[in-house]
Amino acid sequence: DGRTIRYHDPVVKRHDTVQVNIATGKITGVVKMAIGNKVIVTKGKNRGRYGILTGIERHPGSFDIVTIRDADNNSFATRFDNIFCIAGANGKPLVSMPKGRGVATTILQEQNTRLAQ
């Protein structure tokens, strides 16, 4: 919600996710941005998809690209700035997940699921 954390924890680095207690304003948890952690895409064409971060490609002077593997073992790429770390490698996600397991479906697959209902 845009709050400022006045005295940051030295463990927290850039691109890490922090869990904050709203009542006290204290940091209650930290999830590091690292390969193998669960991430969700918040912007771009792949918005709403989530999976395991499998690679980070650094491109100095341009956008860094990440590779993510979803629940159906499909890999896709997006910009590093478009992702948000939601859980450690073996942990439970800190937020509730959208339906569909983070897998992108084609128009025909969506139509078939609607007709089946």
Mind listing the pLDDT tens digit for each residue in 78-115?
A: 999 999 898 887 778 888 777 767 777 778 988 898 89
The pLDDT of residue 12 is above 90: no
**How do beta strands 75-79 and 50-57 pair?**
unpaired
50 neighbors 82 (Cβ within 8 angstroms)? no
Question: Looking at residue 1, what is its pLDDT?
Answer: 61
Query: How high is the mean pLDDT of the chain?
Result: 86
Tokens representing residue 98 in the block: 């959208």
State the chain's maximal CA–CA distance in angstroms: 54
